[in-house]
Structure 1
């Protein structure tokens, strides 16, 4: 446990991406099985211990620690696992861990997985009693899966590939066919076995991504244009009689969209945009009705989706590309060739669940620019420009695909509440709730943002919160309604879940308006007029 806790500490305090890759790689090369596989599962977010939930840890801690002290300390530290690890009292006569062999992480995870929901807290408490503060922190992070050490799943896979001389794209292609503690992956990496076979397994393939267009102008002779739809990019995979839907990060979201999964039963791998049917006239005019992203959110993240919800928010996929047809890998073909194959393939699919993202006809780049300028009114997110001779390659390759998003909307809002951040930001009030004025003169919350500002601006905002606090609610502070923030957002939607009747998409702080008095901030009615 000590080596894993040291790895977590090192990752938290290391900013360099290359240094993080080396730290993880060295750990994976020098740690025995199954501990390194369990650690890799934790770093990639695939470790699941269903019997242990954050609420259970909080309740367990309150049995040993004064609840008031726990709450106040959590407010200061900013992380429950770290707070509990520091405050947990060690019973007399129970020495802390003295070496890695005391509680290997594979053994610790195995005990928690075997425990029932009712027994798990006691099992966890016995291990916490036997560990020092560093070990307790590592154990709690393993138990909840909330590492928050600045590591993405992709970075952890890259570290694995670098450590063992593998191609990260090949690692991605076999990843979803493997389970912790990843014995086959390590056998492959250390030369004891060939690359794991993924035939008849619906595995994820890395997406081809696009660079922002910025000021670049391209020739429409070389590039095809499509609308950029406001849903979520997914990959559909059918193999071995099974279907999986993957998000752009490789997460399996099949459970949230069983209607799509059951409708796709042809051996292939497709790339498309997941949308919900709606009555947007702009979207209709460009290839079929699609509701706003707010409608899609009603289904995202649900493990079980009732027939009623499926009926209220019927999902469909607008197809962009085809990667495999049967066992034939089409990715080396040009975009134009793959497009022809996709146009022939789509006839085999249910038209209620699948349609084709059409290619935009424009006379010139200037004409295309005019069309982009009207993208918001047409209910789309912008444009995609794809080089006609481009193969389908993983990641962002310069000059192949471009995304040309519509300009963001902005609103001047008033800061209302601030909350402590997590990890590196646990000492700062870095999450801000902001509002606009209603007809009644009341300030109503319209959104929340925690990025878009520089480190210096964060320090300014933190000082403002501390100096202008009106009320405290645990880690949250209500502040004096005097600071105006210019908020940028991609779109805004009507929402019955919020008192203002609004929900912003991708809000971020674009400017601190110290020059503007709070009473001149925007009104809710102004934002309602922009809502879709």
Structure 2
């Protein structure tokens, strides 16, 4: 584990993207199979192990350490894996250090009742850095500033390939990726994928910034609504059908109603929504309704009936076996129109174009969309090819202005990675009428949007105004005349039965610290309910 532990340690303290790439490429080149493949899977989030829960780790460390001392240690360090790695009194001196491949294969072979003993034994065998790497590996919580995309770019740099080639192969392969490394090193041919219905890297849009449209001719662009669902890709080749998320995760099992209705061959890019299609005449439902179908390994007949899913098609990558990504957008859209017309109307429709003649006219439409499920507009050059990634110029996304409310900080928790020593994860609330007067009710959580200097201010407030503790969570002083008010920006809001407040925000973030306001001046729950309509 030594080389992997050193890699994690250096990645945590290396801020620049280029420097991180250099570290990754060097590790992949020097480490043997299967160690580097399992390390890659851990970095990219594709490593599947028997679950090691934080509660089990706490129980193990409390077998040999006073609970109060551990709690103080955890509060000081801020990261569970690092805390346990430091306080564990193992004896690794005369014991060989296991390699990542050995650890992964052992954990994958264990039954549920065997995991606890194996974790204890490995913690005893490993040194401090090895324990840290092992715990990060088995808990799946690396949080070291390396995305799956960055890991794939490192592979491309290592082998002198285009990252789009890596993306194309990625979801047809599995850890420890030995055939992938052999190809990158020129030792064998390009890997043959297990399914022809593979995921193809999607084309992404750049947000419209100030001045971006000033030099562009509106007649060169087509506009369509940006729908508030999740981006998907439906692939049907060789009798095999797969539904993928934007990141390439196979979500077919959760949406059999969509998969079974894909009677066409090819690859379609679109938005997964629930409710009715424009062809069926039934209304499209909110993202909150779509969430009832997300993150499920299987789906009941009741859910299929109550939350019917469909795909609103945006683009086509392949028509049958023909790759049409190089054609102009308008030509691809005509192909897509014909294909969708032949598909079941309750499962597929075509995202409509938005007629406009000037940017001013389109901005008015953007601010006043005809459907609450619309979150903005997409701009696509009429002559644009379908390119993987986020190229500057061909496609833009112009979202609605974010909604804003003033809320009061109620709870705080330490962050992870380089923020593990700061309280940077916040729960905030607004006022509502209670039995004995106004009370705060939580309405969301946010952990970004503030600068490093503002984080220092927030962290200092938490440390000086904690009134209670619930494990790693601190309850903060939040009274009408004493508390911390923040301006929260968010992309949308829906009713939710899963939250005490009855509402759920979409993509909340802390936009400003409102040190000029008292908590009594923060918004009320009724304000949020009015936004829903």
Within 1, Cα distance between the matches of 2:74 and 2:242? Answer: 39
Measured in 1, the distance between the counterparts of 2:338 and 2:425 equals 49
Runs of 5+ in structure 2 lacking a partner? none
Match of residue 118 from structure 2: 123
Matched residue SS, 1:243: strand
Does the CA contact (< 8 Å) of 1:376 and 1:406 recur in 2?
A: no
Per the TM alignment, residue 347 of structure 1 is displaced from its structure 2 partner at its CA by 2.6
**Deviation (angstroms), 1:220:** 3.2
Q: State the secondary structure of the residue aligned to 1:157.
A: helix
- Please give the per-residue CA displacement for 1:85-114, whole angstroms capped at 9, x wherever unaligned: 1222215xx52656xxx3111111111111
The answer to whether the 8 Å contact 2:409/2:476 transfers is yes
**How far did residue 238 of structure 1 move?**
1.9
Q: CA deviation at 1:234?
A: 0.9
Q: TM-score, with normalisation over the residues of structure 1?
A: 0.94
Q: C-alpha displacement at 1:259, in angstroms?
A: 2.1
Contact map agreement 2:51 2:139 (CA 8 A) in 1: no
Q: What secondary structure, in the 3-state scheme, does the structure 1 residue paired with 2:374 have? A: coil
Taking structure 1 as reference, are residues 230 and 287 closer, same or farther at Cα in structure 2, changes over 3 Å only? farther
Q: Hey, what does 1:393 align to over in structure 2?
A: 387
Can you list the C-alpha shifts for 1:121-145, whole angstroms capped at 9, x where unaligned? 2122222211101111111222222
- List per-residue Cα deviations over 1:8-54 (Å, max 9, x = no partner): 00000100100110101000001111111111111111110135444
Bigger drift between 383-392 and 459-468 goes to 459-468
Hey, what's the Cα distance between the residues in 2 that align with 1:402 and 1:288?
A: 29
Deviation of the 1:287 alpha carbon: 8.2
Structure 2 distance, partners of 1:238, 1:510, is: 43
Against the structure 1 CA distance between its residues 288 and 339, is the aligned structure 2 distance closer, same or farther, given a 3 Å change threshold? farther
Assess if the C-alpha contact under 8 Å between 2:290 and 2:307 holds in 1: yes
Are 2:479 and 1:478 equivalent residues in the alignment? no
Matching residue within 256, 259, 271 for 1:258? 256
Helix, strand or coil: the match of 2:260? helix
**1:288, distance to aligned residue in structure 2 (A):** 5.8
Q: Report if aligned partners of 2:8, 2:144 keep a CA contact under 8 Å in 1.
A: yes
Note if contact 1:241-1:265 (Cα within 8 Å) is conserved in structure 2.
no
CA contact (8 A) 1:52 1:117 kept: no
Give the structure-2-normalised TM-score.
0.94
- 2:226 matched residue in structure 1: 228
**How much does 1:514 deviate?**
0.9
- Kept after mapping to 1: 8 A contact 2:172/2:195: no
Is the partner of 1:381 in helix, strand or coil?
strand
| Distance change >3 Å, CA 519–CA 376, structure 1 → 2 | farther
Unaligned runs of 5+ in 1: none
The offset of 1:151, in angstroms, is 0.7
Choose from 142, 166, 183 the match for 1:188: 183
**Could you tell me how far apart the structure 1 residues matched to 2:455 and 2:301 are?**
45
How far residue 378 of structure 1 moved from its aligned partner, in angstroms, is: 4.3
What is the CA deviation profile of residues 382-436 of structure 1, one whole-angstrom value per residue up to 9, with x for unaligned ones? Answer: 0001000000001111110010101011001111111111111111111111111
- Report if the CA contact (8 A) 2:425-2:447 is conserved: yes
Equivalent residue runs for 1:9-88 within 5 Å = 9-50=9-50, 52-88=52-88
Who is 2:490 aligned against? 489
Q: How many residues are matched?
A: 523
Q: CA separation of 1:417/1:161 partners in 2, compared to 1, >3 Å: closer, same or farther?
A: same
Q: Once the 2 structures are TM-superposed, how far is the Cα of residue 163 of structure 1 from its aligned partner?
A: 1.2
Is the aligned partner of 1:338 residue 2:332?
Answer: yes
Aligned with residue 135 of structure 1, among 127, 130, 141: 130
2 CA distance for matches of 1:68 and 1:260?
53
Conserved? CA contact 2:173–2:194, under 8 Å: no
CA distance in 2, matches of 1:261, 1:284: 19
**Counterpart of 1:443?**
440
Distance 2:208 2:465 in 1: 42
Deviations 1:356-383 (A, max 9, x none): 1011122433222211110286431000
What is the alpha-carbon distance in structure 2 between the residues aligned to residue 246 and residue 12 of structure 1? 31
